């Protein structure tokens, strides 16, 4: 029987590990492999769609534990999105980030299928095309409410499927070519003259009297 799925509004995503799982809690007793993705939404105090969506998550928590229940330290899967300043302080961006995850297996060891990943026409997303930050997606999920002695009460959003509406390629370690801002005083490569390579190149041809490196 298929799991009943809830659907998010569309939004930009971050850290999409939905094609290949990543390791979480590395080096800790609860280290495991897990699929995951972060969905960005507008400030719920300013945007009615985001308010209704995040409000539905909070309602699921209250329906489970009662209106006076308190979230544990990590009980909310959403929080304000911030950027870190050079001095280490954080500035809110005006957005909310919501985390979705999916384990590879249940606590009883039952293997779980990976999340479905599709394009806007329900075609399977190629496994060799990573989904970069800034891509726009809609997510299918289910809500799991939990209560434990160490972490208190909270909810987890189980990732079921991803629909990619707009794709931004993933670039490992990439940086914008304009990272340094406006040009400044200094060397101009267009004025440099080419220099002939010295006898015996640096890639393996021997040079008489050269010092061996091995």
CATH number at residue 157: 2.40.50.140
| 112 Cβ contact partners less than 8 Å away, ≥ 6 residues apart | 102, 103, 104, 105, 106
Say what the alpha-carbon torsion angle 75, 9, 51, 49 is, to the nearest 10 degrees.
180
Please indicate, yes or no, if residue 206 is contained in any of the structural domains.
Answer: no
Q: What is the pTM of this model?
A: 0.78
Please indicate, yes or no, if residue 186 is contained in any of the structural domains.
Answer: no
Asked if residues 74 and 64 have their Cβ atoms less than 8 Å apart, the reply is no
Please indicate, yes or no, if residue 53 is contained in any of the structural domains.
Answer: yes
Report how far Cα 26 is from the mean position of its chain's Cα atoms.
Answer: 17
Please indicate, yes or no, if residue 182 is contained in any of the structural domains.
Answer: no
DSSP structural state of residue 105: B
pLDDT per residue, tens digit, the chain (214 aa), is 567 799 999 999 999 999 999 988 888 888 889 999 999 999 999 999 999 999 999 999 999 999 899 999 999 999 999 998 889 899 999 999 999 999 998 888 899 999 999 999 999 999 999 999 999 999 999 999 999 988 899 999 999 999 999 999 987 766 666 767 788 887 777 787 776 655 444 444 444 444 443 4
Domains of the chain: total: 1
Domain that holds residue 106: 6-166
């Amino acid at each position: 029987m298929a799991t009943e799925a809830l659907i998010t509004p569309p939004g930009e995503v971050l850290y999409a590990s939905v094609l290949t799982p990543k390791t979480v809690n590395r080096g800790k007793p609860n280290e495991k492999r897990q699929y995951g993705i972060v969905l960005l939404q507008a400030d719920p105090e300013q945007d009615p769609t985001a308010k209704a969506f995040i409000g539905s998550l909070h309602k699921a928590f209250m329906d489970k534990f009662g209106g006076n229940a308190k979230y544990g330290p990590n009980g909310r899967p959403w929080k304000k999105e911030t950027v870190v300043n050079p001095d280490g302080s954080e500035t809110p961006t005006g957005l909310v980030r919501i985390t979705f995850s999916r384990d590879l297996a249940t606590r009883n060891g039952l293997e779980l299928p990976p999340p479905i990943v599709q394009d806007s026409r329900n075609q399977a997303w190629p496994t060799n095309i990573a989904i970069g930050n800034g891509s726009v997606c809609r997510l299918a999920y289910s809500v799991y409410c939990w209560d434990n002695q160490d972490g208190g009460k909270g909810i987890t959003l189980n990732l079921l499927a991803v629909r990619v509406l707009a794709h931004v390629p993933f670039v490992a370690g990439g940086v914008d070519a304009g990272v340094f801002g406006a040009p400044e005083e200094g060397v101009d490569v267009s004025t440099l003259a080419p220099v002939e390579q010295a006898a015996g190149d640096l890639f393996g041809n021997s040079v008489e009297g050269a010092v061996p490196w091995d």
